[in-house]
Structure 1
Amino acid sequence: MTPAARVQAAIEVLDRIIFGDAAEKALTTWARGARYAGSKDRAAVRDHVFDVLRCWRSCAALGGGDDGRALMLGLLRAQGGDVSAMFSGEGHAPEPLADAELAAGEAPQGAAALDLPEWLWPLWHSSLGDHAEATALAQRARADVFLRVNLLAATMDEAATVLAEDGIVTEPHPLSPTAMRVVENARRVHQNRAYLDGLVELQDAASQALVDRLPMPEGGRVLDYCAGGGGKSLAMAALCCAQYFAHDIDVRRMKDLPDRAERAGARVQLLSPADLKAAGQFDLVLCDAPCSGSGSWRRAPEGKWLLSEERLHDLCDIQAQILDKAKDLVIDGGVLAYATCSVLSAENQDQSLKFVSENPDWQQLDQVQFLPEDGGDGFYCAVFKRI
């Protein structure tokens, strides 16, 4: 495919998204109908689509509209691309721009220039203060790819050497002693022996740093309460010798965890909601709660535009309910950790204050907020101890 043909394909995918398809579904549908597209073509189209999703409002302003064609026009203008060469009408390129399209478009202003929903900006600013604009702008760019070196299986140097066999260049990252940033050839990681043999896992650096701060109970019982795929379960298991359990209200989210744990040389027992009732109490319970995902919108930019005031309110209610249930799973003198990949105070500091105020038998030991400017995603964690 030519660069212009890739632009046309991205336009078609964006139009599917506008009509209601999720981004991944829209990309898959296009790929199935485009057997001629090679792996580099599919990657390029995906990059175009996600670049627009991160910067939807500014692309719409620069392109003068909200359909796929205008959004790609806005993206090319923002990137300083040769618009006339892309919209040539030759081969599989988009049709030439009409005079009205050439005249349309303007520089985005206010929240649009930061690519945030209008309703969210006041809350964003009150949550982040002097960091508000920098954090919003960081979410407009692609996220780095990070690996967590599994210390049960390899050292940092050993993992880097195996990755380098396939030209995957990495460098240590200061957020965590197990974190590596992939500098070159990130798309090869899944085929590399280091990944296949459990020497490394894909995990954001801030997520690793969050686990590093947890007071791990040597020889104790640890529960990953909202485990999902189990990345934090495996990260904890690599740092401390303990009994590890993973639970999720939707057990299907944990379906790959047994294989991942075996590959990593870790032991993690899965608990369904029914199993949890008979599992007793734990020394440490980690609740990586459902949230807006506002700290990781570089990776999942659709969430930025799907979030609403009502949905945020519902999420805060869910988070409070999770904390209320999880606290009963902690032994006397044990620890409850609450985490989100959000940068919004309503989901973070406000929840912590509410929990302590409503539960006088708990005290807060620690809290930390990571922002994209620290190098990884936005993450929050608060640690509480049962008195």
Structure 2
Amino acid sequence: MTPAARYAAAIEVLDGFLTGEPAEKLLSNWARRNRYAGSKDRAAVRDIVFDSLRNLNSFAILSGVGQGRGIALGHCIAAGIAPDEIFNGAGYGPAPLDESERNAIAGAEKAQSEEFDLPEWLVEVFKSDLGEEAQASAAALRERAPVDLRVNIAKTTPEAAARALAAESILTEPVTGVPTALRVIENARRVAGSKPYLSGLVELQDAASQALVQMLELRGGQRVLDYCAGGGGKTLAMAAQEPRTRLCAWDISQARLAPLAERAKRAGAKVKLLAAKPVKAEFDLVLVDAPCSGSGAWRRNPEGKWRLQPEGLASLQKTQAQVLSEASALVVPGGTLIYATCSLLKRENIEVVNGFLSSHSEYSLQNSRSFLLDRPGDGFFCAILQKQL
């Protein structure tokens, strides 16, 4: 595919997104209909679409033209590509610019660095919850997220893992403050097919997610439950950090949990997957990675910031309070309850914890930390609560 044809495909996907269709579904459908497109073409179209979703408002401002065509045009301008190189009708590319579009580009406002690229109501939420960090956090969400790997220290060392990756031309660098993390700086798309990944030496996991797990004081013999385990990234990180724990994982979606069995086998980790929802107070440590807005990971899933609605955010806060309360009943006296989200917002984080503590006097807050974007990775929150004996 020519660069112009890739933009034409991205415009098709963006138009579908603007009508309410999920971006991932649109990209998958496009790929099925256009089997001639190679892996590089599919990756390039995906990059244009996701870069555009991260910068939806500012790209529209740059072009002054509406719909997916205008957003893609803004992408060109931001990338320093002359619009006529892409919008010329050649090689299955977008139709040439008409006079009205040229006038719109000429009169368009330049996207300012302070542009939040958020729905208006979320701008106010960011300002309220993040204060002085609101603008910087919103700006960071406009950029691509780094690709981080967690070294499986139960099998190898970071240094050895880096050498093994380099042997396959995958170059990495350490992440300051997170000893298990390697950040990929070259050939990230080769990771999933590499020997270090397939043999369980490394896993894809954001550096902040790893740092969160390293806050936990895991000990051999502990009964540990990953509640809301999802695909099990934190489960496997805990297993590597302390292989002698008796580790269980549960998620309300068994389909989401199912791949953990194969991942654990690859990593050499012992994890018991629970089919039934746990109900007994039999765990020394329970990790609750609660459902949330995902605002700390919107660089990876930029669609989330455009789909979230005020009522959806309020509903999530109720769910978080309920899930935390349910999980608290599974902790033995003297045990530890961990509340975590991949959200930047106080109302999903410390405010949920404070609400929980006001109605659960048997718990006390021992420690909490908010991980802002790029410090060291995605946005995360972690609170460590102790249950009295």
- Aligned partner of 1:228 among 230, 233, 254: 230
Matched AA of 2:292 = C
Answering whether residue 323 of structure 2 is matched by residue 322 of structure 1, we say yes
CA distance in 2, matches of 1:355, 1:110: 40
CA distance in 2, matches of 1:107, 1:365: 49
CA distance in 1, matches of 2:33, 2:124: 43
CA distance in 1, matches of 2:380, 2:340: 7
* Offset at residue 222 of structure 1 (A): 0.3
* Offset at residue 280 of structure 1 (A): 4.7
- Which residue of the partner structure matches residue 181 of structure 2? 179
CA distance in 1, matches of 2:334, 2:113: 46
* Offset at residue 108 of structure 1 (A): 6.3
Q: Deviations over 1:266-292 (max 9, x none)?
A: 110011234x23x65100000000000
TM-score, length of structure 2 as denominator length: 0.96
Instruction: Map residues 344-355 of structure 1 onto 2, 5 A cutoff.
Output: 344-355=345-356
* Offset at residue 160 of structure 1 (A): 1.0
Matched AA of 1:140 = R
* Offset at residue 132 of structure 1 (A): 1.0
Matched AA of 2:294 = G
Cα–Cα, structure 1 residues 117 and 88, in superposed 2: closer, same or farther, change >3 Å? same
CA distance in 2, matches of 1:320, 1:217: 28
Cα RMSD of the aligned pairs, angstroms, is: 1.5
Q: Deviations over 1:98-124 (max 9, x none)?
A: 111112253367898210110011220
- Which residue of the partner structure matches residue 245 of structure 2? 242
TM-score, length of structure 1 as denominator length: 0.96
- Which residue of the partner structure matches residue 300 of structure 2? 299
CA distance in 2, matches of 1:307, 1:355: 24
Answering whether residue 15 of structure 2 is matched by residue 15 of structure 1, we say yes
Whether the aligned pair in 1 keeps the contact of 2:298 and 2:305 (CA below 8 Å) is yes
* Offset at residue 366 of structure 1 (A): 0.4
- Aligned partner of 2:216 among 209, 214, 217: 214
- Which residue of the partner structure matches residue 163 of structure 2? 161
Number of residues of Structure 1 aligned to a counterpart in Structure 2: 385
- Which residue of the partner structure matches residue 290 of structure 1? 291
Matched AA of 1:179 = A
CA distance in 1, matches of 2:145, 2:10: 20
Answering whether residue 258 of structure 2 is matched by residue 259 of structure 1, we say no
Structure 1 stretch displaced more, 223-232 or 54-63: 54-63
CA distance in 2, matches of 1:163, 1:143: 20
Q: Deviations over 1:205-257 (max 9, x none)?
A: 00000000012133110000010000100000101121000010111111111
Matched AA of 1:191 = G
Whether the aligned pair in 1 keeps the contact of 2:281 and 2:329 (CA below 8 Å) is no
- Which residue of the partner structure matches residue 42 of structure 1? 42
Structure 1 stretch displaced more, 122-131 or 16-25: 16-25
- Which residue of the partner structure matches residue 370 of structure 1? 371
Q: Secondary structure at the match of 1:283?
A: strand
Structure 1 portions without partners, runs of 5+: none
Whether the aligned pair in 2 keeps the contact of 1:146 and 1:203 (CA below 8 Å) is yes
Q: Identity of aligned pairs, percent?
A: 52
Answering whether residue 196 of structure 2 is matched by residue 197 of structure 1, we say no
CA distance in 1, matches of 2:381, 2:387: 20
- Which residue of the partner structure matches residue 309 of structure 2? 308
Matched AA of 1:318 = T
Matched AA of 2:95 = E
- Which residue of the partner structure matches residue 356 of structure 1? 357
Q: Secondary structure at the match of 1:218?
A: coil
Structure 1 stretch displaced more, 243-252 or 9-18: 9-18
* Offset at residue 17 of structure 1 (A): 1.8
CA distance in 1, matches of 2:54, 2:63: 15
Whether the aligned pair in 1 keeps the contact of 2:62 and 2:111 (CA below 8 Å) is no
Q: Which runs of 4+ in 1 moved over 6 A?
A: 108-112
Matched AA of 1:22 = P
- Which residue of the partner structure matches residue 140 of structure 1? 142
CA distance in 1, matches of 2:217, 2:376: 23
CA distance in 1, matches of 2:259, 2:37: 30
